[in-house]
Structure 1
């Protein structure tokens, strides 16, 4: 049963729950209502019996009025009887063979007695001279009360029978927005990742928003995959074609020096392709991976290692007012290596390259020829290489730098006043998570 409930539809579970709770509540309410009705009707009959007793008491001195009252009893009191006693307990008058006994105690309220094996409800009225006792059998009272309760019970059952289908209909109507969302998703093509714009109730809005967020994330992931595939196919086609040409030249050339030159060019092509594939994979990893950038990093030590890997002197590093950086040590090392590699590639031999690190920024500069403004504006675009470049490359180094900076909540600024400068400025120092 439990497993069935878990696998049942939301409409079924909600319907069963509402119907069960409604039925239980209705049953409890009906029980209380019938109990209260029983008490209220009993109290009303008691009051009416006492009113009839007062009328008889006031008519005792007028025989005509007494006869009228005796013959004109209420319809719901067909067996009301009375007995009249003197103050000493002598029977003076009785309306039937059922003589009600003299009461030694007087209270202004009805009471229940047993007479001839039957229960009677009596009311007493007396003064110093006489006592009037008026009574009716309990059987008639209970019969009247039972009829009223039966009528109310049948009415309550009919009302419940009408209410339950209406509740079922209301539940079905209330779940229509979910059906609308389901129908909209069913109509969609697999590649349709546009946001849902259906108007839904407030309770369903979080689900719609979560779906829209998921669609956006999947769309971004697919776009990254398409971009990576297109970039890889575009950029690898040329070096691989050149590599094939050089190998064919080496195979077909009869001169050893020509074959050696072709093989050397093929090796350079392999190196370029390896470098390109490595950068593409690094860029793809940055695009798809969830990167933790909340670890403390010794940025000065990373800069020293990067200078060592680039074959530059430690004196190139200048620090002032440094503080603890938070980020991913491997990615920041990759950022520094890319910047130093670019600085070495595009400056003259023995050019001055400097790394300056202060409290929240890293600046790598050189005294090379710099770049014109129109080229500076496009640096950082994927696979963009300025025209007339003699150095090999794929145009991905600065793209990787920009992506790593973005993951670390940092901003990249390029300048070319005297030489070329790249500044990485972290907007806020502190633990964070990027993905």
Structure 2
């Protein structure tokens, strides 16, 4: 059956393509990638497609996501190949996205090369009046004919072979001279799927057994974490809707326990959405928690997650930098400052970040982080502790940021974490990249 957009969305319908066809998946994924090229986030692009075409099957959604994520991980490769095969860059962005998605599939599914090309040409015939159908056919068939020479070209180009922008590669190499290659390689892999057991409703063993019985084997991570051997849709996991566990990266699960929260404390989660760390704090201790976020819509996700887990917090929509205006005279015993950052430690979950970020963005993030730290410090009680967290791998947002803050504040003591002044988790098979630093306000 041809796929049409829902009536609620004023957008031209995709020309009729069979709902279960590869051509449809290639076309929609190409449109999503084109949106990213024009500055739209991958998450927003996918959400827009799901709203526009609600009748897409679960299988088609999965195929579109795989193509979109894979293409963006390999974006540098496609850029190099297209520069060799096109006389000039395409101005029709949907067709450009289609070519990038198709080149990714040709590389990952070489056994289906001819089917892939035929389906891409069928999709191209229904884009912008079909005027670029011949060009798409010619580029893709040339890519197959020149496969070996193009592979050598890719190998010789750092951006294409390492699948990161050149500025990103150099910054990681400078910051992590020993680990840089393994970091970039980890960034290009599929991310693990980890769970955090809600200790107020289940034990780790109970969740392991329930998931195993449903065909989802796991292995334990620490006392309350689990890693699924194979990622699965959360709706397919028994116990999720009942609030027995949450989906949370194992690295992110390190934050709440380090905050050293006890019953009765007044706690602030300053940049809370989507609420995973706030929920973890409430699972650990009976405390009075305020969850803050500047985006009211994202704050609703915090409410939804807490409701599912049977937890409660005070929710406030406010920019953390303005907190002193709202909480004059009040003080918190503990503050979690999971600040906005480059997200360079989680790019395997958000591959568009690599290509949307610019080198000067890092300084902009560092400025906002410094402002948030200053504001939060003013509402931290004497003797209280603040945990600074980023999912960044760049020192400007991490160690340098904290060193500068501590130097400005004589009432700040850096509390050791596992014998070091800070904790840096580099992305690996079990977790994403995170930076954590615990600060205490002197009495």
- Higher-Rg member (1/2): 1
User: Which protein is richer in helix relative to its size?
Assistant: 1
Aligning the two structures, in what range does the TM-score lie when normalised by the shorter sequence?
under 0.3
TM-score w.r.t. length of structure 1: 0.22
